A and B are shown apart, each in its own frame.
Chain A
Amino acid sequence: MEQYANYFKPRNFLIDLLYTIIISTLIAEFLTFTGITTKSFIMNLIVSQSFGISFCSIIMFLLWIFKPEKTASLVFVIIIGIASGTLIGLQIGSFALQQIFSVTLKQPEKSLFQVIILAITFGMIATYFFYSKSRLKVSQELIQQERIKRLSSEKEALEANLRLLQAQIEPHFLFNTLSNVLSLIDTDPANGKSMLMDLIHYLRTSLSRTLHDPITLDQEIDMIKAYLNIQKIRMGDRLRFKIELPDAVRKHPFPPMLLQPLVENAVKHGLEPKMEGGEIMIKAMEEEDLIRIEVMDTGLGFSSFHETGVGIGNVKERIQLLYGEKGRLIIEENKPSGVRAIIEVPKHGV
């Protein structure tokens, strides 16, 4: 109901006043045509305008003063408005008639009563018209708000995807890898070549695909392999990794860039800062109606792991967007050391 209170603005008042004048004119024409009161159009017009404008101004004034938020108080305001509008309209109308035509409404009693009944009836009908009009406007505004909300949530999803894409092209990673390649060209060209090929593979898969394109799990794993190969050249013996990908889940559809941030976290926060390095184990498995992928590392563990980091937050957000309650991300301590991240997604999409 709060929206109804907001509806009454000066501009709306002027529009409604215009409507009132038009409606009053129509009523006057109707009365002249049927001859219920008098055959004089001018007289009917004067009386109906004085009632109409009184109703409209008083009701709008009361709404503006009290700003009713409940239906009961709105009805109360309208009743008060119609009652006092009838009284005031009657005074103005009879005064005008007396001045212009020297006609008095007060006699006989029957015609006065008739005028009041007509005024209240038409007043109620017109009020109902305004009420439905404002309701229509309010519901249109609500629809508009809904649309804005939907659009902005779509925008948020897009922005999340963009952030994710940007995170993949971290300049430090790129420059570091290129420095390594540059050095390897002199010292170990074969290794340099394979590192460059891995970089190309990694960039191609992470940059060329839009995040809405469905890919298969083995495509994502291939890209992660390229990433880990690059990191392996940088870190040497300090990084070891193993990937278990059963044939059954190989061709399962999987959203791109969902697993990669977890692997990147394991390297960056788990193994890189650890003096002796460690191992990363990626395991995919099929359960009844879900696919479960675990990323385990033997790194420093939660002490250096940022669960609230951009990468993890993004993965959580995307799982929520893609699967709702059916998908989840679990992050727990790995025994004896490190972090274990588990992604579970439904087997048959959403």
Chain B
Amino acid sequence: MVYKAIIADDEKELRTHLKSILSEIWPELMICGEAKNGKEALELVESKRPQIAFLDIRMPGLSGMEVAKKNCRSLSYRICNCLRSVCDRSL
């Protein structure tokens, strides 16, 4: 099964950075969308229905935590809220 994922971060460079890391360590993962704020992330989760969502904690509009909470209740998604730690560890 091919996993689908979205990436949400308000910083364009960090989205790019995470995408390049993911393509290296998990080539079969399909990034089906990018969001630059919480609102867009929520819309993407609803329209694309990815199995994985990478959410930045601090985003304008809606924080990554809020997006995760909204989805955890309605869907059985497992949502990784680890964009920051992934990026920090890569340094």
Measured CB to CB, the closest approach of chain B to A266, in angstroms, equals: 15
How many residue pairs, one in A and one in B, have C-beta atoms under 8 Å apart?
51
Encode contact with B along A166-180: 1 for CB under 8 Å, 0 otherwise.
000000000110111
Complex Cα distance, B88 from A179, in Å, reads 7
Query: Assuming the A-B contacts A274-B60, A275-B39, A275-B61, are A179 and B14 also in contact, with contact meaning beta carbons closer than 8 angstroms in the complex?
Result: yes
Out of B17, B39, B58, which one reaches A183, CB within 8 Å? B17
Out of B12, B39, B60, B90, which one reaches A179, CB within 8 Å? B90
- A sample of 8 inter-chain contacts (CB < 8 A) reads A179-B90, A180-B14, A180-B17, A182-B90, A238-B10, A272-B58, A273-B61, A275-B37
When distances are taken between beta carbons in the complex, the residues of chain B under 8 Å from A277 are: 60
- Interface class of chain A by DSSP: helix
Is A71 an interface residue, CB under 8 A from the partner?
no
When distances are taken between beta carbons in the complex, the residues of chain A under 8 Å from B10 are: 235, 238, 272
**In the complex the two chains form, is A184's CB within 8 Å of B91's CB?**
no
When distances are taken between beta carbons in the complex, the residues of chain A under 8 Å from B87 are: 175-176, 179
Contact-residue bracket for chain A: 20 to 34
Chain A residue with the shortest CB-CB distance to B91: A178
Chain B residue with the shortest CB-CB distance to A184: B13
**In the complex the two chains form, is A187's CB within 8 Å of B13's CB?**
yes
CB-CB contacts below 8 Å: B1-41 with A: 10-14, 16-17, 20, 37, 39
Out of B16, B58, B88, which one reaches A187, CB within 8 Å? B16
Out of A179, A233, A238, A272, which one reaches B17, CB within 8 Å? A179
**In the complex the two chains form, is A180's CB within 8 Å of B91's CB?**
no
Contact-residue bracket for chain B: 10 to 19
Measured CB to CB, the closest approach of chain B to A19, in angstroms, equals: 71
Is A35 an interface residue, CB under 8 A from the partner?
no
When distances are taken between beta carbons in the complex, the residues of chain B under 8 Å from A233 are: 13
- Counting chain B CB atoms within 10 Å of each CB, which of A175, A273, A275 scores highest? A275
Complex Cα distance, B87 from A274, in Å, reads 23
Using a CB–CB cutoff of 8 Å, the interface residues on chain A facing chain B are 175-176, 178-180, 182-184, 186-187, 233-236, 238, 272-275, 277
When distances are taken between beta carbons in the complex, the residues of chain A under 8 Å from B13 are: 179-180, 183-184, 187, 233-234
Measured CB to CB, the closest approach of chain B to A159, in angstroms, equals: 29
Query: Assuming the A-B contacts A235-B11, A275-B39, are A183 and B16 also in contact, with contact meaning beta carbons closer than 8 angstroms in the complex?
Result: yes
Chain A residue with the shortest CB-CB distance to B39: A275
Chain A residue with the shortest CB-CB distance to B14: A179
Further pairs besides A235-B10, A272-B60: 15, Cβ < 8 Å? A175-B87, A175-B91, A176-B11, A176-B14, A179-B90, A180-B14, A180-B17, A182-B17, A182-B91, A187-B13, A187-B16, A234-B13, A238-B60, A273-B61, A275-B61
Out of A183, A186, A272, which one reaches B14, CB within 8 Å? A183
When distances are taken between beta carbons in the complex, the residues of chain A under 8 Å from B61 are: 273, 275
Complex Cα distance, B10 from A275, in Å, reads 9
When distances are taken between beta carbons in the complex, the residues of chain B under 8 Å from A272 are: 10, 58, 60
- Counting chain A CB atoms within 10 Å of each CB, which of B11, B13, B14 scores highest? B13
Complex Cα distance, B39 from A86, in Å, reads 94
